[in-house]
Structure 1
Amino acid sequence: MTAATATTAETFRPALHYAARNTWLNDPNGLIFHDGVYHLYYQNNPLDNVWGNMSWGHATSTDLLTWTEHPVAIACNEFEDIFSGSIVYDRENTSGFGTGAAAPLVAVYTSAYKTASAHHGIQAQSLAFSLDGGHTWTKYTGNPVLNRESAEFRDPKVFRYDGDAGSYWVMVAVEAKDFEVVLYKSLDLKDWELLSTFGPANATGGVWECPDLFPLPVDGDPENLKWVLTVNLNPGGPNGGSAGQYFVGDFDGTTFTSATTVTDGPQDPDRLGEYQWLDWGRDYYAAVSFSDVPDDRRLMIAWMNNWEYANEIPTSPWRSPMSLVREVSLKSVDGSWRLVQQAAGERAPHAVQTPSFSLAAIELSDGRHVLDGAAGSVQRIELTVTPGTAEECGLIVRGGEAEGTRIGLRPTEGRIVVDRRESGQTDFHGSFASIDTAPIRTTDGSYEITVYVDRCSVEVFAQEGQVTLTELIFPAATSTEVSLYATGGTATIDSLSVTQYA
């Protein structure tokens, strides 16, 4: 690769998000905090920058801000691809993989068996273990440990359940094409017993993948716990392509019962907007949470891409970043519950930065208003908006000649929009140039929005994280302008601050 080609290739490499050095990645896997280190494993093609040769890549961080890439952790071979899964710390050595000196980390992953295997065409669950803190792994000789003779049984998320029903491991996996979550229990991670199933429910416009199940206190009250079941699906998202949905309810150690199901069975296309989405943008998929995070914090991360165009985004030699790590909580809203998401404390750059640009209240009228001194390609922008007579008002980031990503509010429609039709390179796939929207309500008559801008993405957190939209963008390196705009009337920007990171 020439110097000029390398420079072009790195134009979109993110500063705030993890991306592999020169290979493909997709679903996050095996997320765990262990011995002071966050481990991010992920679906990885170690030989190319498109999907294939599925193995587990590996990166670590102590602050969720800077990541160190390591060699492939669990590699595919002639018998199996290593599909998605999770890792648990087997403190009591229930699996027997540990030694007197070390309890094991145990990876539970999907074996996607190839032609050379006796299980050809089957997806089943297998184990690998590590005795050195997650850097080297040994596959269990008794694999697979759970085989339903299914071609679409995958993505096990395993956690330790301790409750009225007892103490044991619980696996949450999917029968992808049946839109069904299956729950199993085990005492030793090797022998599994079916507990129950959930689904189909709500969004079923594409296969179900990468489930997760975890408890959260409502409004921070530890005496009021609800369980959250997340399920990703592809396609079928609220703005097209890949997305993730969630349900809130109860888990008694055997059965998850949803209190937020809108439709049982096949989805009702007219009610898609009523379902609870992890993110309304086009590029937030396969979201799962970290295990064993201190203080019972629930941290999640997702693959920042969409299967409609994933293999074609212009980021060679690497392809696909991860989202920001988010801390999620559960809030009671209008008699129900809503997942609230914020950039995680260690991950949020504003924790150690001060704004480099700010302005007091101004009234916007029709047109675009460039903010001198606010330009940047890696930044955090916070603004509060009080709607007036404008049909739409908001923010344009990564602006330049004939370029810009518009983040707008449409008060009469009760919608927030991200318009990336002029976000730079958009012609690599017919579905990329899009206007994506989400429902939003004012709080005390105003809107509060935080936008993380990076070299190839925007992540929008609105109304303190009750609504999020995540979008890839591919603007020219010189497109760094920040503007405010209003159309069809006026609006008031109550406050705005910009923090630069690179």
Structure 2
Amino acid sequence: MKTNPWMKLCKGAILALAVSYGLTYCHTTKSKLTLEQKGDSLTVIHITNPTNYILLPIEEEAAESQVLLDTGEAADTDMDIRLAQTQVDYFVSFALPTGAKTATVRVRNKSKDALCWKEIKLSDTFDTANTEKFRPVYHHTPLYGWMNDANGLVYKDGEYHLYFQYNPYGSKWGNMHWGHSVSKDLVHWEHLAPAIARDTLGHIFSGSSIVDQENVAGYGAGSILAFYTSASDKNGQIQCLAFSKDNGRTFTKYEKNPILSPADGLKDFRDPKVFRYEPEDKWVMIVSADKEMRFYESKNLKDWNYMSSFGEGYGVQPCQFECPDMVELSVDGDTNRKKWALIVNVNPGCYFGGSATQYFTGDFDGMKFSCDSQPNVTKWLDWGKDHYATVCFSNTGERTIAVPWMSNWQYCNIVPTKQFRSANALPRELSLYTQDNEIYLSAAPVPEIKTLRKEKKEIPAFTVANDYHIDSLLADNDGAYELALEITAGEAEIMGFSLFNDKGEKVDIYFNLPEKRLVMDRTKSGIVDFGKKSVPHEIEVHDRRKTTSINYIDDFALATWAPIKKENKYMLDVFVDKCSVEIFLNGGKVAMTNLIFPSEPYNRMCFYSKGGSFQVDSFNAYRLGL
């Protein structure tokens, strides 16, 4: 991944400062830092000739302190930062005003004897070189800090803009900004500065973006408009607008925000999705509203009127609706037969616990969505535990490209990484198909992924009667590869394979044909003990997830499964990347995404069968890299 001047890579360029307690003066050649400590309630940091950053020491288990760059403006906003109390887990950068002669930073709720005051540093650079063994090779991740939902996905002038929920001040959730990366091909991403920062209205929660081609909002033809939720205890959850005139690099917030508030004072009212409804020459906004989606319309993108709602009592129960999206797609490629797919991310409510993505197919008449299925029917877009907040790019023409967040709210804050947390799953192209007189949504990896293939190992066809070993999968695969298989079921009842390493850590992927299931088992995949710290949501204290999953040990150590049709032949694509396994069956008709944390890459395979043999007709392994 490329970086730009926003975040210069450096090694050892830090201007270290010796800090003691009380009123303390700290000197570099040009810069001076003074701590004015007023008990445990307030510390004022005075800086003359500021460097670009203060480097703040973080302890993940410490309580949050409030850190404010004091410019004297009404827009000054506290950031909640876990400053080190007794140990330093890592550093984050806190930007200082460029070209200023002085700067003042106020820190509340940090004891004067905390370790952070000894470790705080000034620097003109911040080292973002990767330090994590589990950072993916070819999946999008933040340079550092926390990331969750993809936001504001939009394509313009040859660039895919991926905005995302981002905390630049730690690798746990907090201080929601819209982070920003761009790509020309969906696989090589360039990190840019955060696009929309937390402000006095609150955190910048999820939302969507459009290209205003006809200057409807009045900010210029071709402006990018971002619709997002501002969230705070004081203001609740309200929908806001920002606009960009420089191809999405920077945004100006609409001076009359918010543009939409819940008329009934609803607490959970967020994640606006805006799209064009051509038959009526208008714009539609969908907002997640507790356990339903609410639909609004507008002619000018600023004034919104309520139309209808959908979802109460539909799909998995209990649940909380979040991050909506809705797209019109051809069924089975027939452009004369179209349906709408309403994507609804739910948390909690996943079949295996925590967060997941369900969808509904039906019709939309410009005012209301009518579902084809009965309320008790649940359709999942992915059958793993680590696929959530799936939303689609706007302005991509005939293509419908979705990007999921690859984690689960049950344990996302405690996975075994520190420099960063979370990645996006592979971008997926969506389409509708029919099966048994029902319409389903498929999700296939975008074809651009094939450009990552660096080395191919073609394995001749073979028959698996009991087991079949491949002792060397790919030399120097770095835990990043693709497996493409075509399988004939034969007489086997159980057929599959293990990916494993020399330490015996493994992931099992297999077909249970009598039960018509495709299974991925990560109970022995490597580091799994952190799953014991997972805490189910208060409305998910039932044991359903323990019985619907397989080999349940805790909310991480388990196996997930997808229902499949019993067929003679199967095509299976498997993508492994350091800390994840994604499988796609028959071109994306079934998808399953799960995190893994092996102590070393899986470099060996063992195929196995029970109840008869099966045939591997075609098997290609590809090393993947940027």
Instruction: Give unpaired runs (5+ residues) of structure 2.
Output: 1-9, 13-89, 91-127, 533-554
- Does residue 113 in structure 1 map to residue 235 in structure 2? no
Q: Is the 8 A contact 2:463 2:614 kept in 1?
A: yes
Residue 352 of structure 1, CA deviation = 6.3
Match of 2:304 in 1: 192
Equivalent of residue 441 in structure 1, options 559, 565, 570: 565
Equivalents in 2 of 1:398, 1:367: separation in Å? 14
Match of 1:268 in 2: none
Equivalents in 2 of 1:438, 1:180: separation in Å? 26
Equivalents in 1 of 2:493, 2:141: separation in Å? 38
| Mapping 1:140-289, distance limit 5 Å | 140-148=254-262, 149-163=265-279, 166-176=280-290, 179-200=291-312, 201-263=314-376, 275-289=378-392
Match of 1:458 in 2: 581
Match of 1:129 in 2: 243
Amino acid at match of 1:66: H
Q: Is the 8 A contact 2:454 2:624 kept in 1?
A: no
SS across alignment from 2:281: strand
Amino acid at match of 2:584: F
Q: Is the 8 A contact 2:578 2:601 kept in 1?
A: no
Deviates more, 1:45-54 or 1:330-339: 330-339
Residue 415 of structure 1, CA deviation = 0.3
**CA distance change for structure 1 residues 230 and 478 in 2, over 3 Å: closer, same or farther?**
closer
Equivalents in 2 of 1:48, 1:154: separation in Å? 24
Identify the structure with bigger relative contact order (alpha carbons < 8 Å, sequence gap 6+): 1
**CA distance change for structure 1 residues 424 and 8 in 2, over 3 Å: closer, same or farther?**
farther
Superposition CA RMSD, Å: 2.0
Match of 1:477 in 2: 600
Equivalents in 1 of 2:585, 2:527: separation in Å? 26
Query: How many pairs were matched up?
Result: 475
SS across alignment from 1:428: helix
Equivalent of residue 356 in structure 1, options 418, 443, 456: 456
SS across alignment from 2:297: strand
Residue 442 of structure 1, CA deviation = 3.5
Equivalent of residue 617 in structure 2, options 490, 494, 502: 494
Cα distance per residue 1:334-380 (max 9 Å; x no partner): 2121112211122x1x2464762222331212245234344632111
Q: Is the 8 A contact 1:205 1:233 kept in 2?
A: no
Q: Is the 8 A contact 1:355 1:497 kept in 2?
A: no
Amino acid at match of 1:174: S
- Does residue 293 in structure 1 map to residue 396 in structure 2? yes
Match of 2:160 in 1: 38
Match of 1:342 in 2: 444
Amino acid at match of 1:155: D
Amino acid at match of 1:446: K
Equivalents in 1 of 2:131, 2:316: separation in Å? 37
Q: Is the 8 A contact 2:473 2:621 kept in 1?
A: no
| Mapping 1:55-74, distance limit 5 Å | 55-74=177-196
Amino acid at match of 2:293: V
Q: Is the 8 A contact 1:368 1:486 kept in 2?
A: no
- Does residue 83 in structure 1 map to residue 183 in structure 2? no
Amino acid at match of 1:90: D
SS across alignment from 1:150: coil
Cα distance per residue 1:111-135 (max 9 Å; x no partner): 10244xxx2xx11100011110101
Residue 19 of structure 1, CA deviation = 0.4
| Mapping 1:318-329, distance limit 5 Å | 318-329=420-431
Deviates more, 1:317-326 or 1:381-390: 381-390
Equivalents in 1 of 2:452, 2:431: separation in Å? 23
Deviates more, 1:375-384 or 1:459-468: 375-384
Equivalents in 1 of 2:415, 2:197: separation in Å? 25
Residue 291 of structure 1, CA deviation = 0.2
| Mapping 1:410-425, distance limit 5 Å | 410-425=512-527
Q: Is the 8 A contact 1:290 1:299 kept in 2?
A: yes
Residue 477 of structure 1, CA deviation = 2.6
- Does residue 10 in structure 1 map to residue 132 in structure 2? yes
- Does residue 467 in structure 1 map to residue 583 in structure 2? no
Residue 493 of structure 1, CA deviation = 1.6
Q: Is the 8 A contact 1:374 1:482 kept in 2?
A: no
TM-score by length of 1: 0.90
SS across alignment from 1:147: coil
Equivalents in 1 of 2:559, 2:473: separation in Å? 28
SS across alignment from 1:310: coil
Amino acid at match of 1:184: Y
Equivalents in 2 of 1:435, 1:472: separation in Å? 11
Cα distance per residue 1:237-268 (max 9 Å; x no partner): 122211011111111111111102342xxxxx
**CA distance change for structure 1 residues 340 and 2 in 2, over 3 Å: closer, same or farther?**
same
**CA distance change for structure 1 residues 7 and 479 in 2, over 3 Å: closer, same or farther?**
farther
Deviates more, 1:27-36 or 1:218-227: 218-227
SS across alignment from 1:216: strand
Equivalents in 2 of 1:7, 1:31: separation in Å? 26
Q: Is the 8 A contact 1:239 1:437 kept in 2?
A: no
Equivalents in 2 of 1:370, 1:89: separation in Å? 50
Equivalents in 1 of 2:572, 2:602: separation in Å? 22
Indicate the structure (1 or 2) with the bigger Cα radius of gyration. 2
SS across alignment from 2:447: coil
**CA distance change for structure 1 residues 27 and 7 in 2, over 3 Å: closer, same or farther?**
closer
**CA distance change for structure 1 residues 8 and 155 in 2, over 3 Å: closer, same or farther?**
closer
Q: Is the 8 A contact 1:78 1:114 kept in 2?
A: no
Amino acid at match of 1:282: K
Residue 389 of structure 1, CA deviation = 4.3
Q: Is the 8 A contact 2:457 2:621 kept in 1?
A: yes
Equivalents in 2 of 1:182, 1:327: separation in Å? 26
Cα distance per residue 1:284-329 (max 9 Å; x no partner): 00000000013x1000001000000000111221100001000111
Amino acid at match of 2:227: V
| Mapping 1:352-391, distance limit 5 Å | 353=453, 356-367=456-467, 369-374=469-474, 376=477, 377-391=479-493
Cα distance per residue 1:397-421 (max 9 Å; x no partner): 2533221111111111100000001
Match of 1:330 in 2: 432
Segments ≥4 residues shifted beyond 6 Å: 5-8
Q: Is the 8 A contact 2:493 2:512 kept in 1?
A: yes
Equivalent of residue 24 in structure 1, options 132, 146, 156: 146
Cα distance per residue 1:411-465 (max 9 Å; x no partner): 111000000011111111222111111111144x122111111111011001221
TM-score by length of 2: 0.73
Cα distance per residue 1:138-182 (max 9 Å; x no partner): 11110111011321100100001111xx11110011112xx1110
Instruction: Give unpaired runs (5+ residues) of structure 1.
Output: 264-273
Q: Is the 8 A contact 1:44 1:57 kept in 2?
A: yes
